[in-house]
């Protein structure tokens, strides 16, 4: 069976690897002429570590990632008061059979790429059209320099991110929704960062209208920071668009001195307008399906976008295992039935945090802080972190 995967991000590469493990051959078509991720960190939660382990890759995580001892350490913007903290480390391994890491996206992408035979990745292939009939799929690609190529396949998988070119072939596309927020992303070398930011902890500072997340990456040599603030006039959505450190500092005037010191240590920052989508009504049509952000673009507030993409990848391969070209459409329907409810729920939950994280000081904020102090995020999120194929809870418990 010929499988074409459009998009060589974390989701597309993982799908090719899981399909390979299932005895199926897939080719990844990526628009970029080289695979690279720009400077930004990523939480690698246990529900991503376990699939990576099944690919034989998790043992390499400690080479470059930082194992978190604590996560969701919420602090108050003015005085650094800890509102809540969730021990990870051994507790996470005990509960979910895997640790939680934070990593540089580039390292993670390189890990997946190194595991994929070169001939399964075609760079400089920008998909511009996908057509299908009962017998197969035809994909059209544009190359730099103005050449075109057509490829036929038995099934096509759109792993091409929030602005998917494959999505329209499903006739169920939903326009991305602008969240009126933007993310400043920056890296600070460890010797310039405040001591508290070097701990193996994912820290979130909550304040009126904005929040800041930071954690160490790259074996502790760098601190990754993401500041979520009102977007103002900013609409550019790109990993590479330059922002201004000065603008970033202005956003956090009056915040605790550790925050100010961390931001002031940044020498450059990228600025990215945040979009998500309403859950799609369907991911699959005939011989074409979606995966990762193309299927369920979500806000980054639950740090689950990439993890859900990797879960999709494993599930897709499990559904396709043992099928042939004739039975593939039914397998794609099974994949969607397994994945869409869960990923949609995570999408909506991530959106819910948008308001909660940014409450102005007052009664609602005090109520939130009380709930944070009483909550147990690791246990409350069991349905997310414990998910393991079909054999574990996929959805939140009723009333959660």
Within a 10 A sphere around the Cβ of 244, how many other Cβ atoms? 12
Contacts with 26 (C-beta within 8 Å, 6 or more apart), sequence order: 3, 4, 5, 15, 16, 19, 20, 120, 157
Residue 300 Cβ vs ligand FAD, minimum distance, rounded to whole Å: 3
Residue listed under structure tokens 């996929």: 394
| Residue 154 interacting with ligand FAD (CB under 6 A) | no
- 309 to 328: interface string for ligand FAD, x by CB under 6 A: x-------------------
By CB under 6 A, residue 188 contacts ligand FAD: no
- Determine which residue in the list 46, 51, 161, 225 makes contact with ligand FAD, applying CB under 6 A: 161
Looking at the DSSP bridge assignments, the partners of residue 230 are 181
Does 6 bind ligand FAD (CB under 6 A)? Our answer is: yes
Q: Rule CB under 6 A: say whether 207 interacts with ligand FAD.
A: no
> Which regions of the chain does DSSP assign to beta strands (E)?
3-6, 26-29, 41-44, 66-67, 70-76, 82-87, 101-104, 121-122, 126-133, 136-142, 148-153, 155-158, 177-189, 201-207, 210-217, 222-230, 242-243, 269-276, 288-290
Strand order in the sheet with 201-207: 82-87, 70-76, 201-207, 210-217, 222-230, 177-189, 269-276, 242-243
Under rule CB under 6 A, residue 43 binds ligand FAD: yes
Contact between 255 and ligand FAD by CB under 6 A: the answer reads: no
Single residue of 66, 112, 121, 127 touching ligand FAD by CB under 6 A: 127
Q: Which of 4, 5, 12, 388 binds ligand FAD (CB under 6 A)?
A: 12
**Known catalytic residue at 101:** no
- Contact by Cβ (8 Å): 206, 364: no
Which one among 3, 19, 26, 42 touches ligand FAD, defined by CB under 6 A?
42
How does DSSP assign 50-67, residue by residue?
HHHHHTT-GGGHHHHSEE
In order of 319, 383, 392, the CA distances from 334 in angstroms are: 7, 21, 17
Structure tokens at 145: 């320099």
Give the nearest distance from C-beta 14 to ligand FAD in angstroms. 8
Tokens 């090719």 sit on residue: 16
User: Binding to ligand FAD by residue 262, rule CB under 6 A?
Assistant: no
Q: Does 344 bind ligand FAD (CB under 6 A)?
A: no
| Closer to ligand FAD by Cβ: residue 109 or 259 | 109
User: Least separation, in Å, of the C-beta of 310 and ligand FAD?
Assistant: 8
Q: Number of helices and strands (H, E) in the chain?
A: 13, 19
Residue 307 as a binder of ligand FAD (CB under 6 A): the answer is: yes
Q: Which is nearer to ligand FAD, 36 or 81 (CB)?
A: 36
Q: Is residue 29 at the binding interface for ligand FAD, with CB under 6 A as the rule?
A: yes
Among 39, 51, 279, 300, contact with ligand FAD (rule: CB under 6 A) = 300
**Minimum gap (Å) between residue 307 Cβ and ligand FAD:** 4
Q: What is the spatial distance between Cα 191 and Cα 5, in angstroms, rounded to a whole number?
A: 41
Task: Please work out the total of residues on this chain that contact ligand FAD, with binding judged by CB under 6 A.
Answer: 31
Nearer to ligand FAD, 183 or 265 (CB): 183
Catalytic choice (29, 96, 101, 215): 215
- How deeply is 264 buried, as exposed, middle or buried, from its count of CB atoms within 10 A (0-12, 13-18, 19+)? middle
Q: How far is the CB of 81 from ligand FAD (least distance, A)?
A: 24
With beta carbons less than 8 A apart as the criterion, state whether 56 and 394 touch. Answer: no
**CA pair distance 143, 147, nearest whole angstrom:** 5
CB closer to ligand FAD, 27 vs 365: 27
Q: Does 226 bind ligand FAD (CB under 6 A)?
A: yes
227 touches ligand FAD by CB under 6 A: no
Q: Residue numbers of the site for ligand FAD (CB under 6 A)?
A: 6-12, 29-32, 42-43, 125-127, 159-161, 165, 183, 226, 292-293, 300, 303-307, 309
What are the residue numbers of the active site? Answer: 215
């Amino acid at each position: 069976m010929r499988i074409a995967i459009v998009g060589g991000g974390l989701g597309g590469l993982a799908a090719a690897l899981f399909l390979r493990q299932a005895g199926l051959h897939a080719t990844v078509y990526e628009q970029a002429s080289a695979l690279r991720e720009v400077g930004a960190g990523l939480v690698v939660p246990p529900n991503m570590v376990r699939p990576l382990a099944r690919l034989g890759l998790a043992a390499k995580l400690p080479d470059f990632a930082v194992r978190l001892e604590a996560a969701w350490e919420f602090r108050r913007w003015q005085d650094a008061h800890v509102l809540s903290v969730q021990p990870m480390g051994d507790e996470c391994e005990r509960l979910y059979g895997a640790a939680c890491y934070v990593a540089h996206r580039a390292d993670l992408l390189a890990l997946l790429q190194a595991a994929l035979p070169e001939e399964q990745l075609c760079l400089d292939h920008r998909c511009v059209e996908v057509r299908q009939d009962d017998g197969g799929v035809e994909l059209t690609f544009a190359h730099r320099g103005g050449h075109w190529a057509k490829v036929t396949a038995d099934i096509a998988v759109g792993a091409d991110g929030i602005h998917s070119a494959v999505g329209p072939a499903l006739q169920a596309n939903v326009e991305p929704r602008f969240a009126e927020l933007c993310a400043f992303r920056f890296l600070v070398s460890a010797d310039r960062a405040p001591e508290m930011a070097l701990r193996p902890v994912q820290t979130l500072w909550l304040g009126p209208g904005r929040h800041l997340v930071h954690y160490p990456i790259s074996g502790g040599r760098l601190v990754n920071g993401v500041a979520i603030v009102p977007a103002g006039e900013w609409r550019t959505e790109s990993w590479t668009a330059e922002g201004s450190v000065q603008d970033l500092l202005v956003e956090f005037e009056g915040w605790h001195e550790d925050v100010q010191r961390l931001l002031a240590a940044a020498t450059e920052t990228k600025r990215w307008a945040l979009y998500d989508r309403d859950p799609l009504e369907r991911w699959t049509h005939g011989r074409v399906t979606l995966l990762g952000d193309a299927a369920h673009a979500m806000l980054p507030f639950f740090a689950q976008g990439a993890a859900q993409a990797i879960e999709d990848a494993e599930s897709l391969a499990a559904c396709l295992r043992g099928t042939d070209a004739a039975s593939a459409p039914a397998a794609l329907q099974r994949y969607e039935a397994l994945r869409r409810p869960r990923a949609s729920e995570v999408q909506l939950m991530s959106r819910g945090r948008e308001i909660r994280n940014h409450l102005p000081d007052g009664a609602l904020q005090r109520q939130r802080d009380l709930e944070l102090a009483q909550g147990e995020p690791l246990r409350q999120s069991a349905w997310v972190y414990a998910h393991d194929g079909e054999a574990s809870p996929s959805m939140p418990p009723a009333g959660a």
